[in-house]
Each structure stands twice: as structure tokens, then as C-alpha cells.
Amino acid sequence: MFPAKFAYAAPGSLQEAVGLLEDPEAKVIAGGHSLLPLMKLRLAQPKLLVDIGRIPGLGYIRREDGVLAIGALATYRDLQFSQDVHQATQVLAEAAHEVGDPQVRAKGTLAGSLAHADPAGDLPAVVLALGGVVRVVGPNGERDLDLDSFFVDMLTTSLDEREIIREVRLNVQPAGSGGAYLKFDQPASHYALTGIAAIVSLDGGKIASARIGVTGVGPKAYRPTAVEQALVGVAPEDEAVKAAVQTVADGIDVQGDIHASPEYRAHLSRVLTRRAVLLAAQRAGG
């Protein structure tokens, strides 16, 4: 399988790359593990590929004050082996081990996953649970896009056509919180039929706050805010949490395909949300 013909440029800086995106049929490539499969199937046929993969200094992961700053070229493998990730964001550390397989994790990038916005990608759920911003560079300089409004629709984000993610800035998990990422995957592709990221804080044996990200269920990753609110004050026990998470797929255009019907995905989302919340609570108490 070969992609349709395209021209290729490997600029030396993000500014130069932004300049090349003046071409409306240009597309950015970094690890290429989301884009190239689409190009092989000819679902994407860019006329120009702008390869940012050789721009130096974008593969970093560093902890700043309350924020984990992740450069555009940091791969899942980088996340998996980063002590900062393990210390600051338990939920991201767990999810980084679950994306694709080891070889895929060596090329795929967090920033690329977010820009691609696959409805079944793992990382969109995780970054929604953590919260933060996507720092982008475009023709008019830099701006920060809030993650809460970053995912717009299937494969669609609030990035402008000529903007490139330069850094993902995630909130460090609150002290004493627990995080968990659980997914039920399609065994061949490892894409999430449903994936749930949860961050839970406890106070006096009850859930004090919960943040949840859901992927694989609707056309885009989302936060079930009604469930987050319903969990506050609930004891981290099976029946109580089960009752609080029942609405996790309510109001969502739940997707169906040959692997899972909408009803099954909605069911998985309730089961996995309960389990992820309980596991995160257990880790918070641990």
C-alpha cells in the first residue's frame, strides 16, 4: 500500500514549517503513525508533507511549576520511560504503556495524537482528565488552547489550519490524588473500544473530587461533567460509584461499528468508569 504522490519538505524550525503550511493542501507529519496509515488507505491525500520530525529540541518532557511540559516530538516511549511523567501524572504513565505496541510507541507522539483527534485514541481521554493547555505556534505567533475545548468533533480540533502544536502543558495530578486509565481494546489494532481516564481525590473516606476523560465512545473524547459532580461526596465503594457513573454516555452520540454496537460501547463506558474511579480512589488512599 502506497500513499498518493506528494511533495516533501523537512524544515529546520517551526517558523519555517508554519510558513510551508500556507499551502492549503499541506499536512504536518511528526511520528506519522496516525497520518501514514490514513495516507496508505488514501483517506488522506496531502499534496505536501511538512516533516517537523527533524526540528531539534522538541522531544523534551520537563516538570515546571505544577505543569508537565511535553514537547511536540516526545513519543509515547519517551513518556513511558520518563520519571517526571511517573511522578507527576500517574494516569498518563499508565496510559503511555497501553498505546498501540512497543514499536508504535517508539514513533507516535502525544502532540500528534492530540492533533489527529482520533475518536478512539487513548491520550485524548488522559489529557482531558488531567487538564491543561495545548501551546501552538502559527502565523501570528503563539497561543494556548484550553484542552477542555480542544476536541471539536471526530478528527477535528480547535487548531487553525496553519497552526502546529509546539508543546502540551498538562496539570500535574493534585497531591494525594490517584489516577487510573482502563481500556477495553480491539485486540488487533489496540484502539480503545472504550477507554476511561480517572483522577480521584479523597477526603475523610469520601470522594472529594473526580476528573474523568472518556474515549472510544463518542465522535470525540469528552469529560462527563455530570458524573464528575455526582461522584463528589460518594464513598469509593462498588454500588455507590456504580450509581454515580450511570450517566457517563448520556447525551453522547455513541458510535457503533463492526467491533462494538453503540449499546455495547455505552455499557462498557459505565463498567469501565466505575472500575477506573474505584482503582484511582484506591491509589489515592494507598
Partner 1 sequence: MAQTETREPGLHTVTVTVNGKQYSRQTEPRQLLVYFIREQLGLTGTHVGCDTSQCGACTILLDGTAVKSCTILAVQAEGADIKTIEGYAESSGQLHPIQQAFWEEHGLQCGFCTPGMVIAIDQLLRDNPTPTEAEVRKGLDGNLCRCTGYQNIVKSALSAGRKLRGEEPFEKPDVAMAEPAAAH
Return d(Cα 85, Cα 83) in angstroms, integer.
Answer: 5
Binding mask 97-116 for partner 1 (x = CB under 8 A): ---xxxxx-xx---------
Least distance in angstroms from the C-beta of 81 to partner 1:
8
Window contacting partner 1 (CB under 8 A); options: 19-27, 165-173, 174-182, 269-277 = 19-27
Q: Does 45 bind partner 1 (CB under 8 A)?
A: no
Cell of 34: 496516525
When asked if residue 239 is in the footprint of partner 1 (CB under 8 A), the reply is: no
208 contributes a contact to partner 1 by CB under 8 A: no
Instruction: Report the alpha-carbon angle 70-156-49, nearest 5.
Output: 70
Closest contact distance (angstroms) between CB of 178 and partner 1 is: 23
Nearer to partner 1 (CB atom), residue 53 or residue 262: 53
Q: Is residue 273 within 8 Å of 198, Cβ to Cβ?
A: yes
Q: Is 265 helix (H, G, I), strand (E, B) or coil?
A: helix
Size of the site for partner 1 (CB under 8 A): 37
Shortest separation between residue 242's beta carbon and partner 1, angstroms:
30
Q: Which residue, 20 or 114, has its beta carbon nearer to partner 1?
A: 20
**Taking the alpha carbons of 203, 130, 102, 77 in that order, is the dihedral positive or negative?**
negative
User: Smallest gap, in angstroms, from Cβ of residue 188 to partner 1?
Assistant: 6
Give the closest residue to 150 by CA, choosing from 137, 131, 167, 166: 131
d(CA 30, CA 222) in angstroms, rounded, equals: 25
Q: x/- string (CB under 8 A) for partner 1, residues 156-195?
A: --------------------------------xxx-----
| Rg (the chain; Cα; Å) | 19
Residue number, 30 or 249, with CB nearest to partner 1: 30
How many Å apart are CA 241 and CA 128, to the nearest integer? 20
Cβ distance to partner 1 smaller for residue 4 or 152: 4
- CA–CA gap between residue 68 and residue 172 (Å, rounded): 6
- Residue 212: name the closest of 275, 261, 283, 159 by CA: 275
- Pair 168, 114: CB distance under 8 Å: yes
Q: Check binding of 44 to partner 1 (CB under 8 A).
A: no
Q: 210, 231 in Cβ contact below 8 A?
A: yes
| 138 is a contact residue toward partner 1 (CB under 8 A) | no
Task: State which residue, 139 or 205, has the beta carbon closest to partner 1.
Answer: 139
Site residues for partner 1 per CB under 8 A? 1-10, 19-20, 22-23, 29, 32-33, 36-37, 40, 47-49, 51, 53-54, 77, 100-104, 106-107, 188-190
